[in-house]
Structure 1
Amino acid sequence: MTGDGQWGHDGWAQAVRSRLGLGRLLPLGGAGDGAWIAEEAAVAVLRRAACGVPGTVLGKLRIAPDGTGVAADAAVPAPPSALPPGPLRVEAEAEAVAGGESLPAVADRLRDALFGACADALGLGVTEVDVRVTGLLEARPGPSVVAGPDARPDPSAVVGPDRGAAALRGPEAEAAAAVPGVAHLTGVLGAAVHRTGYHVRVELAVAPGRRALDVAAAVRSAVAAAAGPDRSVAVLVTAVELP
C-alpha cells in the first residue's frame, strides 16, 4: 500500500471512530428549527446538571424518541442518520446516599434538574424524564463524581478532519464562526460547512453558558444571509463546552 493509501485509510478510520462517538443525532427544537445535537454532547450537559443534586451519583443516561411514534418532517434536509423532529424521553439511573431523603424525593430532585437542563441549556423537546434509583451509597459522594458506566469520550474532544483554521473557509463558515455563542466550528461528519446543491450544513461547538438551540437559530440566520437566497441551512451541534 502506498503512503497516500495508508493516510486515506487512517483518515477514514478516524472519521468512523469520531462519528460513532457522537451517539444519536437528536432534534433540537421543532420541525422548523433545522437543528440537531449529538446525543453525547447533550448527555455531557445533563451530567453537569446532575452534579448540582447533592447525595446522588448519576449512572446510565440515555436520550431517545419517547416511543409514541410521533415525528414530523424537518423543514430542511437532516444530517446523515439524524432522528426526525419529535418528542424525546430521558432515561436515567442513579445511586443515592442511604439514610438521607426518601428515594422518591431524590428521584424527583434529579428529574427536575435534568428537565431543566434539557429546556434551559439545550432546547431539547423532552416530554418525559424517567429516573430510577438503582442503588444506595454508604458515603456522601463528592461533587466531582459524575461519570457513569456508559460514559464515553466528551464530544468536545472529538477532532474532526476539518477542525481548526481550515474550517474557516468561505463566507458561510466565517458567518457561522462570528455568531456569539459559537465556541468553534467542528467537522466530525466531514467539512465544518458542507454544501450540497442549495443546502448548507454547519457543524459547531457551543460556548459555555449558551443555550444550544438559540445559538443554532442565530447561526442559521447568519449563514442563510451569507449563502444567498434560496439556500436551506441546517446546524449540527457536536459539542457543548462546559464551564
Structure 2
Amino acid sequence: MTTADGSRRAQGWTAAVRQRLGLGRLLPLGGPADGAWISERAAVGVLRQAVGRPGPVVLELRIAVADAQAAPEPQVPSPPSALPPGPLRIEATVAATAHQPLPAAAAALRSALLAAAAQRLGLVVDEVDVQVTELLDTEPERAEPPRVEVRPADPEDAAGRAAAGVTGVATLTRVLGASVHTAADHVRIELATEGGHRALDVARGVRSAVTRAVDGHPPVAVLVTAVTAEPARRSSPGPAG
C-alpha cells in the first residue's frame, strides 16, 4: 500500500467517525413496540424549523430520556448506543427580547416544540425546559438552518428495496454501517425521511414492508439519520427479490 493510499484511507476513516459523532444521541420514536429511532441532529433540525417568529431565538436544543432508569426495554433490538424508549425531555437554551413577557414567550416556545415533536416526528416528550440566557434589545436576523447533507445508499437486497419503496422514505443512508444490517435476531434499516411525512409513521411503514419482504419475517428496527426538506435523490426500488 502506498503512502497516498494510506492517507486516503485514514481520511475516509476520520470522515466516517465525524459523521457518526455528528448524529448526536439516537432518540426513540414512539414507544417500546415501535422499534424506531432518530438521530438527535435530525430531530433538532425539525424542531428548530417549528419555532415561530417573532419570539425567542433558540441557541441550543438538547434531547434526552427524562428518566432513563424507569424507561422500558425496547421490544426490537436497538441500534448501538441508542437511548431506551422512555418519555423524553427537551432542554432549550434561548435568547429573548423585551417585546414579549418572558413567561409568555417561554410558554409559546414550549407549545411549539411539543407540537412539532409529536406531529412532525413522533417523539414522546414529557418535559420541555426553557432557559433564557441572553436578553436582546431588538429582534435579530435569523439565519436559515443549514442544509443537511444526505449521502444516499442504493438498495441492494429485498429488505433495502422494500424500505426504499415506502412513501416518505427519501433514501437509504449509510452512517453507522450498511444501510441494511442483518443480525441473527433482527434486521436494521438506516434511512432518511422526507420532511412532509411524520418520521414515526414512515418508520412503521418501513418495518411492515421489510418484515413482509424478508424470509422468516424477522423483527425490524429503523434508524432515521436525517429528515430532508425536499425529497433526496432515490433509486428505483426495482422488483422485489
2:55 alignment counterpart: 55
1:31 alignment counterpart: 32
Q: What letter matches 2:39 in structure 1?
A: A
Give SS of 1:82's match.
coil
Gaps of 5+ in 2: 231-241
Q: What letter matches 1:27 in structure 2?
A: P
1:9 and 1:33, CA in 2 relative to 1: closer, same or farther beyond 3 A?
Answer: same
* Structure 2 residue 174 is the aligned partner of structure 1 residue 187: yes
Displacement of 1:54: 1.4
After TM superposition, list the pairs within 5 Å mapping 1:163-242 onto structure 2.
Answer: 163-164=152-153, 167-242=154-229
Displacement of 1:139: 1.5
Runs of 4+ in 1 over 6 A off after TM superposition: none
Q: C-alpha offsets along residues 41-65 of structure 1, whole Å, 9 cap, x if unaligned?
A: 0000111011x24132111110011
Q: What letter matches 2:107 in structure 1?
A: D
Q: Across the two proteins, how many residue pairs are aligned to each other?
A: 229
CA distance in 2: counterparts of 1:197 and 1:34, whole angstroms = 16
Q: What letter matches 1:89 in structure 2?
A: R
Give SS of 1:231's match.
coil
1:216 and 1:66, CA in 2 relative to 1: closer, same or farther beyond 3 A?
Answer: same
Contact 2:88 2:124 in 1 (8 A): yes
Contact 1:192 1:202 in 2 (8 A): yes
Contact 1:57 1:145 in 2 (8 A): no
Q: What letter matches 1:35 in structure 2?
A: A
1:219 and 1:10, CA in 2 relative to 1: closer, same or farther beyond 3 A?
Answer: same
CA distance in 2: counterparts of 1:146 and 1:97, whole angstroms = 20
Contact 1:70 1:87 in 2 (8 A): no
Percent of aligned pairs with the same amino acid: 55
Q: What letter matches 1:237 in structure 2?
A: V
Q: What letter matches 1:36 in structure 2?
A: W
CA distance in 2: counterparts of 1:12 and 1:145, whole angstroms = 32
After TM superposition, list the pairs within 5 Å mapping 1:64-79 onto structure 2.
Answer: 64-67=64-67, 69-79=69-79
CA distance in 2: counterparts of 1:217 and 1:129, whole angstroms = 26
Contact 2:61 2:92 in 1 (8 A): yes
Contact 1:45 1:242 in 2 (8 A): no
TM-score, normalised with respect to structure 1 = 0.88
Contact 1:47 1:146 in 2 (8 A): no
Q: What letter matches 2:60 in structure 1?
A: K
Q: What is the alpha-carbon root mean square deviation over aligned residues?
A: 1.8
Q: 2:149 aligns with which of 134, 149, 157?
A: 157
Give SS of 1:157's match.
coil
2:19 alignment counterpart: 18
Displacement of 1:87: 1.2
1:119 alignment counterpart: 118
Contact 2:72 2:85 in 1 (8 A): yes
2:237 alignment counterpart: none
After TM superposition, list the pairs within 5 Å mapping 1:80-95 onto structure 2.
Answer: 80-95=80-95
Contact 1:89 1:126 in 2 (8 A): yes
Displacement of 1:14: 2.0
